[in-house]
Amino acid sequence: MSAPRIAVVGSINLDLVVRAPHLPAPGETVGGATFARYPGGKGANQALAARRLGAEVALWGCVGADAFAGEALALLRADGVNLDHCRARDDAPTGVALIAVAESSENQIVVAPGANALLAPSDVGAIEADALLCQLEVPVETNLAAAQSFHGFFAINLAPAAPVPDALIARADLVTVNEGEAACYGDALSAAKSMVAITYGAEGATLFRQGEEIARARPPKIVARDTTGAGDTFSAALTLALIEGSAPEAALTFACIAGALAATREGAQPAMPTRAEVDALLART
């Protein structure tokens, strides 16, 4: 059986990450940190996660015509994500995320979108795939145009939380949010006809349909190292499991395990697990 095809429309960043004893309070300087650079961006993260979990993946996005672009695309290219639809812009830099990670694995993130903000509806065009996966780090009108012209399973990770048109949620087959984002959207999620997955960190996730709980799952106990990218891995994994035909509870369990594994290693994209790793842990739970 051929691998499911997932199209991702979304952001591409280079993550500049410092690990510190604790996260700074306003006005505080925290010393003793270490520094690393990793490919990132919610779109790129979800594309790579889906690819490592076994999907054929194509990514639509924008980078700058600068030195950061090659680094930002390196792991996607190495893992075989189709980058034919990624544009290099000479009028904006590659997006950058400044990430501080505490020893507790909690993080703070500030994003300078750069070229991601220039991804236009005309850059997307017709998409043929089994599923389309979007997030909110590119213009919302681009997500809406892609969703309305696409005829397959449409999943959107409503993150980071931002105002969205009702039509975007109405078009979705699957919405994923974390607990804080769910509070921001409130009744809009309860009224959605789609499935809505809400994540609660170490407490797992719950899947709803029209406000009614249909599945609940908890991740395995792990030692979290860096939670950056864990939510992106969850969104990609849940989308993939559902289009593969898994029942809601099985799909949610698969996604929780994938997200948990992503939190056990440093960096967003370098930490993302393979299908074999997820299946091996799934077999032990």
Residues annotated as catalytic (active site), given as ranges: 232
Q: How far apart are the first and last CA of the chain?
A: 26
Alpha helices in 1-53 (DSSP H): 42-52
Q: Which residues contact 24 (CB under 8 A, 6 or more apart)?
A: 30, 100
Distance CA 56, CA 3 (A): 6
| β 95-102/5-9 pair status | unpaired
The answer to whether the CB of 160 falls within 8 A of the CB of 179 is: no
CA atoms within 13 A of residue 75's CA, in its CB half-sphere: 25
Phi-psi region of 80 (alpha: psi -120 to 50; beta: other; left: phi over 0): left
3-state secondary structure of 37: strand
Which DSSP string do the residues of 154-208 spell out, in sequence order? EEEE--S-----HHHHHH-SEEEEEHHHHHHHTHHHHT-SSEEEEE-GGG-EEEE
Omega within 30 of 0 (cis) for the link into 160: yes
Distance CA 256, CA 231 (A): 9
